[in-house]
Amino acid sequence: MKIRIGTEASQSTDQVPDDWFNWKKKDKEEAESVARPSMSYWQDAWKRLIKNKLAMLGLIFLILLGFMAIFGPILSPYSVKIQDLPNQYQPPSSDHWFGTDSHGRDVFTRTWYGARISLFVGLMAALIDFTIGIVYGGISGYKGGRTDSILMRIIEILYGLPYLLVVILLLVVMGPSLTTIIVALTVTGWVGMARIVRGQVLQIKNYEFVLASKSFGTKTPRIIRKNLLPNTMGPIIVQLTLTVPSAIFAEAFLSFLGLGIQAPHASWGVMANDSLGAILSGNWWTLFFPAFFISFTMFAFNVLGDGLQDALDPKLRK
Amino acid sequence: MLRYILKRLLIMIVTIWIIVTLTFVLMISIPGSPFNSERGTNENVQANLEAHYNLDKPYHIQYLLYLKSIATFDFGPSIKQPGQTVNDLLGRGFPVSLELGLVTIIVAVISGIILGILAALKHNGILDYAAMSFAVLGISIPNFVLATLLIQELAVNWQIFPPATWSSPAHMVLPVIALATGPMAIIARLTRSTMLEVLTQDYIKMARAKGLSPWKIVVKHALRNALMPVITIMGTLLASILTGTFVIEKIFAIPGMGKYFVESINQRDYPVIMGTTVFYSTFLIFMLFLVDIAYGILDPRIKINKKGGE
Amino acid sequence: MEKILEVKDLHVTFSTYGGTVKAVRGVNFHLNKGETLAIVGESGCGKSVTSNAIMRLIPDPPGKISKGEIIFRGKDLTKLSEKKMRGLRGVDISMIFQDPMTALNPTLTIGTQLKEGLQQHRKISSDAAEVKAIEMMDLVGIPSPKERLKQYPHQFSGGMRQRIVIAMALICEPELLIADEPTTALDVTIQAQILELFEKIQEVTGVSIILITHDLGVVAKIADRIVVMYAGKIIEVGTKREVFYQPEHPYTKGLLNSVPRLDLQGEKLTPIDGTPPDLFSPPAGCPFTARCPFAMEVCDKVYPTGTTLSETHQVDCWLQDDRAKRLLATTAATTAEK
Q: Is A160–B285 a contact, with Cβ atoms under 8 angstroms apart?
A: yes
Classify domain A58-68+103-313 at the CATH superfamily level. Answer: MetI-like (1.10.3720.10)
For B267-281, the pLDDT digits (tens) are 888 888 888 889 998
Task: Work out the minimum CA distance from A220 to partner chain B, whole angstroms.
Answer: 26
Q: Please state whether B268 falls in left (phi above 0), alpha (psi between -120 and 50) or beta.
A: left
**Chain B residues close to C116, C-beta within 8 Å:** 207, 210, 212, 220
**Chain B residues close to C104, C-beta within 8 Å:** 203, 206
pLDDT category, A20, cuts 50, 70, 90? confident
Task: Work out the minimum CA distance from C223 to partner chain B, whole angstroms.
Answer: 23
**Chain B residues close to C103, C-beta within 8 Å:** 202-203, 205-206
Q: Is C327–A16 a contact, with Cβ atoms under 8 angstroms apart?
A: no
Domain boundaries, chain B: 89-298
Task: Share the mean pLDDT of chain A.
Answer: 77
Q: Is C277–A34 a contact, with Cβ atoms under 8 angstroms apart?
A: yes
pLDDT of residue B38: 53
Are C320 and C307 within 8 A, CB to CB?
A: yes
Q: Is B19–A161 a contact, with Cβ atoms under 8 angstroms apart?
A: yes
Which candidate from A258, A280, A298 shows the least CB-CB separation from B139? A298
Q: Please state whether C35 falls in left (phi above 0), alpha (psi between -120 and 50) or beta.
A: beta
Interface with chain C: mutation pick from B197, B201, B203, B210, highest number of C CBs within 10 Å: B210
Task: Work out the minimum CA distance from C140 to partner chain A, whole angstroms.
Answer: 34
Interface with chain A: mutation pick from B148, B149, B263, highest number of A CBs within 10 Å: B148
Are B188 and B226 within 8 A, CB to CB?
A: no
Domain boundaries, chain A: 58-68+103-313
Are C294 and C248 within 8 A, CB to CB?
A: no
Task: Share the mean pLDDT of chain B.
Answer: 82
Q: Considering only the C-alpha atoms of chain C, give the largest distance between any 2 of them, rounded to a whole number of Å.
A: 80
Lowest mean pLDDT among C32-36, C171-175, C185-189, C204-208: C185-189
Mean pLDDT, range A21-44, rounded to an integer: 59
Interface with chain B: mutation pick from A158, A172, A279, A292, highest number of B CBs within 10 Å: A172
Does B307 contact C at CB distance below 8 Å?
A: no
- Domains of chain C in start order, with CATH, are 3-102+176-334 (3.40.50.300)
Task: Share the mean pLDDT of chain C.
Answer: 84
Nearest chain A residue to B239 by CA distance is A162
The set of residues, in sequence order, having a beta carbon less than 8 Å from that of B289 and lying 6+ positions away, is: B8, B9, B12
Does C80 contact B at CB distance below 8 Å?
A: no
Q: What is the DSSP string of C128-169?
A: HHHHHHHHHHHHTT-SSHHHHTTS-GGGS-HHHHHHHHHHHH
Strands C19-32 and C314-316: unpaired
Does C295 contact A at CB distance below 8 Å?
A: yes
pLDDT at B214 over 70: yes
Query: Nearest Cα to A138, choosing from A83, A194, A70, A80?
Result: A194
Distance CA B161, CA B167 (A): 12
Distance between the two ends of chain A, CA-based, in angstroms?
34
Lowest mean pLDDT among B54-63, B171-180, B235-244, C255-264: C255-264
Mean pLDDT, range A260-268, rounded to an integer: 79
Put the strands of the sheet holding C93-96 in their side by side order: C93-96, C176-180, C208-213, C36-40, C225-230, C233-239, C314-316, C306-308
Q: Is B211–C120 a contact, with Cβ atoms under 8 angstroms apart?
A: yes
pLDDT of residue C261: 63
pLDDT at B306 over 50: no
For B168-213, the pLDDT digits (tens) are 788 888 999 999 999 999 999 889 888 888 888 888 888 888 888 8
The set of residues, in sequence order, having a beta carbon less than 8 Å from that of C205 and lying 6+ positions away, is: C170, C173
Are C43 and C275 within 8 A, CB to CB?
A: no
pLDDT of residue A53: 83
CA atoms within 13 A on the CB side of B37: 4
Are C179 and C171 within 8 A, CB to CB?
A: no
B59 CB burial (10 A radius; 0-12, 13-18, 19+) = exposed
Of all residues in chain B, the percent with pLDDT exceeding 90 is: 12
**Chain C residues close to B307, C-beta within 8 Å:** none
pLDDT of residue B309: 33
Does B224 contact C at CB distance below 8 Å?
A: yes
Distance CA C137, CA A59 (A): 56
C6-15: b (≥16 Cβ within 10 Å) or e: ebbebbbbbe
Choose the CATH number for B89-298 among 3.30.930.10, 1.10.3720.10, 1.20.140.10, 2.40.30.10. Answer: 1.10.3720.10
Distance CA C268, CA C256 (A): 12
For C161-203, the pLDDT digits (tens) are 888 888 888 888 888 999 888 887 778 888 888 888 888 888 8
Lowest mean pLDDT among A72-86, B87-101, C26-40, C117-131: A72-86
pLDDT category, C307, cuts 50, 70, 90? confident
The set of residues, in sequence order, having a beta carbon less than 8 Å from that of B10 and lying 6+ positions away, is: none
Q: What is the DSSP string of A40-61?
A: -HHHHHHHHHHH-HHHHHHHHH
